[in-house]
Amino acid sequence: GTATVDLFAPGTGTDISTSVMVPGDGDGDPPVGFPLCYCTTFDAPCNNDYSQGGCENSLGYGAILSATGSEMIANDNLTLHVIQARPNKSCAWLQGATFIQNAFRDGNLCVGNPTERMAIQTLDGTGALSTDFSIVTEGHITSPGSYFYQLWYRDGGGPCGQMSNLSNAVRIDWQ
């Protein structure tokens, strides 16, 4: 589906709201969490902006991250989904306790300290992937609070020549 998100140009307060495609789990479950850290012309590391997801990769578009399931810790059924990353490449699921937005490789790193590298997986032949592990367990979520999630993936030949890129991020307000 699509969702309208409020984006603000860094340091300007200029609203650059847009409608973006939000991937789900294919079963019609609505997305949860708050997507953020879209790659705009104001923060693209090498003019590789892609306002619907992470910064543009070597295929000409950015990876889009979303979440489905529940933000309830006790339910332990949150799933992260990514599309449009580089097919058949290894990747790492990242969690951070703070939000940052710093140029990193061919994208923007948006998960800040303390951070967890929750799992290493491989993207499928279309550049898509959904988590197949417990985010509560791997992220060491024991009490309510906000955490930020992002996918870091290999991207040889990317626009900035840095060999990897990142999706946009999603904030989950655990309850």
| pLDDT tens per residue across all 175 residues of the chain | 444 444 344 444 444 444 444 455 455 667 899 999 999 988 899 999 999 999 999 999 999 999 999 999 999 999 999 999 999 999 999 999 999 999 999 999 999 999 999 999 999 999 999 999 999 999 999 999 999 999 999 998 899 999 999 999 999 999 9
Interacting residues of 113 by C-beta distance below 8 A, sequence separation 6+: 96, 97, 98
Specify the pLDDT at position 26: 54
| Count of CB atoms situated within 10 Å of the CB of 105 | 20
Overall pTM surpassing 0.75 (yes/no): yes
Nearby residues of 111 by Cβ (< 8 Å), 6 or more positions away: 94, 95, 96, 98, 99, 100, 148, 149, 150, 169
Element of type H or E holding 138: helix 135-138
- Which tokens in the block code for residue 15? 């609203």
Residue for token digits 């490789």? 105
Q: What DSSP state is assigned to residue 124?
A: -
